[in-house]
Amino acid sequence: MQEQIEAVQRMQDYIETHLQQDITPADLSKVSLFSPWYSRRLFIKQLGLSPSDYIRKLRLSKSAIRLRDQPCKIIEIAFDLGFKSVDGYQRAFLREFGCNPSEYAAHPIPIYLFVPYGIKFRHIERRIPMLDSKNIFIHVIDKPSRKVIIKRGLQAKDYWSYCEEVGCDVWGLLQSIKSINGEPICLWLPEHYQLPNTSQYVQGAEVSLDYNDIIPEGLDIIELPATKYLMFQGEPFNEEDYCEAIESVQSAIEKYDPAVIHYQWDHDQPKIQLEPIGTRGYIELVPIK
């Protein structure tokens, strides 16, 4: 089983690094170390998508981010991301997102982007004991008054229970929203931000106070005041070690007393979690006053 998981992960890694090139079944067979037929079968079994569907969804999602953030021509994006024709790209974009690329570029609406989670990370134990101490970097940051478009759960108190309740697709939707912080966030909401029978843990996208665009169905919006945060950032880590990286930071937060810098924890504002990315280290932001 582990050999099969690693083979699919190698195919995912290859697709990510060669997305702008023509990717053939033979290419994936070489990196998986299995036959083209068996490689495709493994890919579908583990990820629920054929390699071609996976590649198409990933290319379309990356093209949507470019359309949202960069002034560029449709033809450039289509060929840069490996589509054979502009017409083919436009039809695929419309089928995937319900609007054509030019409409989306003119008025980017929230859409469900494809998020390619690595298969090997699904099979890692959630809790990994800390083997040694890690350096944790701490500094004060100021967040401005802002709105946050959020998707609430039911009883979730952490990422795992939230995904079980809500699913993982919402992260792709939040990534399509142009956040003032450049990425979606996860929040632990104090009670006064929660609605009856909804979760403490939510995921969302921070937007400006004057945001008055579309709120996707099933999501709502809250307003947060300007707040000081202590940002706890761990060392860079190998992606498969993300559980240990999270535990290191959360353990440091539990031990830290903000009184040493003449602050106290602000329990009226949400704590924030950023996506664990190995190259930057795991990050949590805890409100202070």
pLDDT digits (tens, 9 = 90+) for 27-47: 999 999 999 899 999 999 999
Q: Is residue 72 part of a domain?
A: yes
Same domain, 75 and 152: no
φ, ψ of residue 136 in degrees (nearest 5)? -120, 125
Give Rg (Cα) of the chain. Answer: 21
d(CA 280, CA 236): 5
Residue range 205-260, pLDDT digits in tens: 999 999 988 899 999 999 999 999 999 999 998 877 888 889 999 999 999 999 99
d(CA 105, CA 277): 28
Same domain, 162 and 262: yes
CA 92 to chain centre: 23
Domain housing 69: 2-106
d(CA 240, CA 122): 10
Same domain, 273 and 186: yes
Residue 29: per-residue pLDDT: 93
Q: What is the DSSP string of 2-28?
A: HHHHHHHHHHHHHHHHTTTS---HHHH
pTM of the model: 0.81
pLDDT band at 130 (very low <50, low <70, confident <90, very high): very low
Same domain, 213 and 95: no
Same domain, 57 and 189: no
H runs (alpha helix) in the chain: 2-17, 25-32, 36-47, 51-69, 74-80, 86-97, 101-106, 159-166, 169-175, 242-255
Q: Is residue 13 part of a domain?
A: yes
Residue range 79-114, pLDDT digits in tens: 999 898 999 999 999 999 999 999 999 999 999 999
Q: Is residue 254 part of a domain?
A: yes
Looking up residue 43, the CATH number of its domain turns out to be 1.10.10.60
Q: Is the pLDDT of residue 125 over 60?
A: no
Same domain, 153 and 35: no
Q: Is residue 118 part of a domain?
A: no
Note whether 93 and 40 are within 8 A (CB). no
Same domain, 79 and 150: no
Counted domains in the chain: 2
Same domain, 208 and 267: yes
Q: Facing residues of 52 across strands?
A: none
Residue range 14-26, pLDDT digits in tens: 999 999 999 999 9
Q: In the numeric block, which tokens belong to residue 122?
A: 């699904």
Residue 123: per-residue pLDDT: 56
d(CA 19, CA 252): 39
Same domain, 232 and 272: yes
Same domain, 102 and 140: no
d(CA 79, CA 156): 42
Same domain, 219 and 271: yes
pLDDT band at 268 (very low <50, low <70, confident <90, very high): very high
* The residue count for the chain: 289
Q: Is residue 113 part of a domain?
A: no
Last residue of a domain, one of 106, 122, 149: 106
Looking up residue 216, the CATH number of its domain turns out to be 3.20.80.10
Q: Is residue 221 part of a domain?
A: yes
